[in-house]
Structures are given as structure tokens and as C-alpha cells.
């Protein structure tokens, strides 16, 4: 059995705009293992969606610059658009951010699903719709939703329909981009659990779950990768990232999470001072250095990606000397 579904090495994907290049994905390296859910987190604008889109399409102004991406044996950055299209929904499937807004109010869910399937060259016969009904059942939706319009469904129901559509051809790799952010807390948990179920039932093999919300990742992700301003910051098993973070940015993210049972008067939430840098024509060096309380002159140079422990990697010049308890150290 293949160990990794996806192998990404030194990937650079920039937006080519009139003023120059927005370096949104800059030298990112990681693997996605067979059978795992990898959570991808980081502040708004850090390149999470760009990383996801670079696996799915290379529409202008996004431009592939360099690096290798191996998706179950396919070198996808070397493929042309028509070759790549054949992989969509079958090998790789993306639930994009704001997918909930993509439903047409004038189409019944059934028509919407049929149109999408036909676009991918899939026959929309009885067998197809039997499978759709089976999958609707799996996500706790009655088949009657097929004859309803999207405005008749709640956000959580729509998100479950989207999940069914995106996985109807049993893709090996699913990317779910902010699929829970527009939902209430119980729908969030339900949708996240559904994704884990799809993996447990081997309908999908592996997934990347993109979110700002580390607490959801804590529930379902096997590993978590943190990005900062277009760069890789840290990746590791979920417990390791939460209990033993080695990048000062990861530590700040963890500290900014509210903890149930602790009142504000007892412990203030630690925010992260400052804002991320602009990525337009950005130069060398650790991109977190302007906000990092531990930054030294060396941070003007770009830190290498180093191994902390099994499956745990970090890009920070000071990870060894700082250890994981970063509080109060300088």
C-alpha cells in the first residue's frame, strides 16, 4: 500500500499581478499520509486556500513557480489542464471556501447534482442516483432533499449535500476549505465528524481540512500543519502541536484559544500583536520575525525546515534552545 497520498516538495505558487508577485505559497514541503486527516491552520491570508487551489487548478493570476507535487503517482504540476481534469472528483476533490453560496436558487438539488456529474462525464442514471441516496443517508439527509431548492435547506444541510457531491466518485484525496466556518457550533461538529466518517469508511482515503479553528482540528485531525504568511511554520501529530509546539507562532495560536472553564478575569486570552506582512514582492527571512518576541538577527535569514521528532517538523532558528514552553523566555 502507498504510504503517502500526496508528496509536496518546495512548492512555490505566486500570484502574478501588475505590481509584482504575491508570494502566497513559498517553499512549502509536506506529505499527506494514506488514511490521515491533515488539518491546515493559520491566520487569514497565510496561503491556505492558495495551497489548496494550486493542487486543483492553475487559473491566472495564480502561477506555479517551482517544486514537485506527487498525487498518488501523478506529477500534477507537470500535467496539462486536460490531463489534470480527468483526476478531478475521481482522484482529487475540493470543497472550496464559500461553496454554500454556489447553489443556484432556481435549480432543484437533484438538477444541481446531475449537472455537476455530467460536467465530469458521469452518467446520471438510476445507479448513480441510488448511490447519491445511499450517501445522503450516510450524512443523515432524507432523499427528499433531492426535490427541494437550496433556499429550503439550512446551511448545515447544504454543506452535507456538498460533501456528498464532492465525494460521489470516491476521490482518494479530499480538500475541505473552511467548510464549517459559516455554521453554528453543533452543525460544525456534525460536518467535521462526517468528514472523519467518510475516511473511516474508506470512501475517501485522506483529506486536508482547512480552518482557522484549531479546536475543530483538535477533534478530527491526525496531524496539523501551521502556515504563516505563505510559509510553512510547523507540522506534527495533533497532540504534539497542541502540547509541545516548537514555533513561536504556533504557541501564540494555541494561547489565543479560549479554554472552557477558565474565566477571563483569571486568565486573559493572549492575542498576537501586529499583523502579518504583505506578501507582494516579500524578501528573505523568517516572515514572523516582526511579531516574534524571540526574534534575533539570524531571523533575517530564512530558517530551514528541521525535524523535531517523528513526523514533527518546524521552521524556526531557535526551536532547540527555546523548547516547547515558550512562555516568558527571551
Residues that bind ligand ATP (CB under 6 A): 15, 17, 22, 24, 42, 44-50, 61, 97, 212, 279
3-class state of residue 189 by DSSP: helix
Q: Which residue lies nearer to ligand ATP by CB, 139 or 279?
A: 279
| Nearest-approach distance from CB 309 to ligand ATP, in angstroms | 26
Candidates 288, 299, 300, 219; CA nearest to 251 is 288
Residue owning grid cell 461538529: 189
CB of 95 to ligand ATP, least distance (A): 13
Distance CA 42, CA 45 (A): 8
Phi, psi (degrees; rounded to nearest 5) at 202 = 60, 25
**How many Å apart are CA 229 and CA 236, to the nearest integer?**
19
Nearer Cβ to ligand ATP, position 52 or 146?
Answer: 52
Least Cβ distance, residue 324 to ligand ATP (angstroms): 25
User: Which strands make up the sheet holding 20-33, listed edge to edge?
Assistant: 20-33, 4-17, 62-71, 74-75
Residue 76: how many other CB atoms lie within 10 Å? 22
CB 166 to ligand ATP: min, Å: 18
Nearer to ligand ATP, 24 or 89 (CB): 24
- Kindly tell me which of 37 and 226 has the beta carbon lying closer to ligand ATP: 226
CB of 3 to ligand ATP, least distance (A): 28
Cβ atoms of residues 146 and 108 within 8 Å: yes
For ligand ATP, the closer CB: 35 or 155:
155
- Residue 163 and residue 121: Cα distance in Å, rounded? 19
Task: Please list, residue by residue across 219-244, b when 16 or more beta carbons sit within 10 angstroms of its beta carbon and e when fewer do.
Answer: ebbbbbbbbbbbbbbbbbbbebbbeb
Instruction: Output 17 or 262, the one with its CB closest to ligand ATP.
Output: 17
Is the CB of 132 or the CB of 188 nearer to ligand ATP? Answer: 188
| CA angle centred on 242, ends 203 and 285, rounded to 5° | 100
C-alpha cell at 129: 442516483
| Cis before 61? omega within 30 | yes
Instruction: Report yes or no: 290 and 282 within 8 Å, Cβ to Cβ.
Output: no
Q: How far is the CB of 15 from ligand ATP (least distance, A)?
A: 4
Report d(CA 208, CA 225) in Å as an integer.
10
CB of 19 to ligand ATP, least distance (A): 10
Closer residue to ligand ATP in complex, CB, 22/214 = 22
Shortest Cβ 97–ligand ATP spacing (Å): 6
| Beta-sheet pairing, 312-314 with 62-71 | unpaired
Residue 4, C-alpha cell as written in the block: 503517502
Amino acid at each position: 500500500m502507498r504510504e503517502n497520498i500526496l508528496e509536496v516538495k518546495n512548492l512555490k505558487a505566486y500570484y502574478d499581478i501588475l505590481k509584482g508577485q504575491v508570494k502566497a505559497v513559498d517553499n512549502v514541503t509536506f506529505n499527506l499520509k494514506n488514511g490521515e486527516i491533515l488539518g491546515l491552520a493559520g491566520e487569514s491570508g497565510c496561503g491556505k486556500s492558495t495551497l489548496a487551489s494550486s493542487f486543483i487548478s492553475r487559473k491566472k493570476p495564480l502561477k506555479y513557480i517551482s517544486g514537485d507535487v506527487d498525487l498518488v503517482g501523478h506529477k500534477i504540476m507537470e500535467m496539462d489542464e486536460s490531463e489534470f481534469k480527468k483526476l478531478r472528483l475521481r482522484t482529487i476533490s475540493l470543497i472550496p471556501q464559500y461553496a454554500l453560496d454556489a447553489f443556484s436558487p432556481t435549480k432543484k438539488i437533484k438538477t444541481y447534482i446531475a449537472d455537476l456529474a455530467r460536467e465530469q462525464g458521469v452518467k446520471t442514471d438510476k445507479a448513480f442516483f441510488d448511490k447519491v441516496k445511499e450517501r445522503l443517508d450516510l450524512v443523515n439527509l432524507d432523499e427528499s432533499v433531492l426535490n427541494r431548492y437550496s433556499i429550503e435547506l439550512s446551511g448545515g444541510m447544504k454543506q452535507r449535500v456538498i460533501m456528498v457531491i464532492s465525494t460521489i466518485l470516491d476521490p482518494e484525496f479530499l480538500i475541505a476549505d473552511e467548510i464549517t466556518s459559516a455554521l453554528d457550533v453543533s452543525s460544525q461538529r456534525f460536518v467535521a465528524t462526517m468528514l472523519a466518517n467518510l475516511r473511516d469508511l474508506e470512501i475517501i482515503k485522506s483529506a486536508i481540512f482547512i480552518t482557522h479553528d484549531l479546536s475543530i482540528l483538535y477533534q478530527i485531525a491526525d496531524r496539523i500543519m501551521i502556515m504563516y504568511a505563505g510559509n510553512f511554520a510547523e507540522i506534527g501529530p495533533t497532540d504534539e502541536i497542541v502540547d509541545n509546539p516548537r514555533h513561536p507562532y504556533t504557541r501564540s495560536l494555541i494561547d489565543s484559544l479560549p479554554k472552557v472553564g477558565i474565566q477571563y478575569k483569571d486568565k486573559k486570552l493572549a492575542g498576537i500583536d501586529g499583523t502579518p506582512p504583505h506578501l507582494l514582492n516579500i524578501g528573505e527571512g523568517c516572515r514572523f520575525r516582526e511579531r516574534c518576541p524571540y526574534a534575533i538577527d539570524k531571523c533575517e535569514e530564512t530558517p530551514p525546515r528541521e525535524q523535531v521528532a517523528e513526523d514533527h517538523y518546524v521552521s524556526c532558528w531557535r526551536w532547540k534552545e527555546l523548547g516547547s514552553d515558550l512562555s516568558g523566555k527571551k
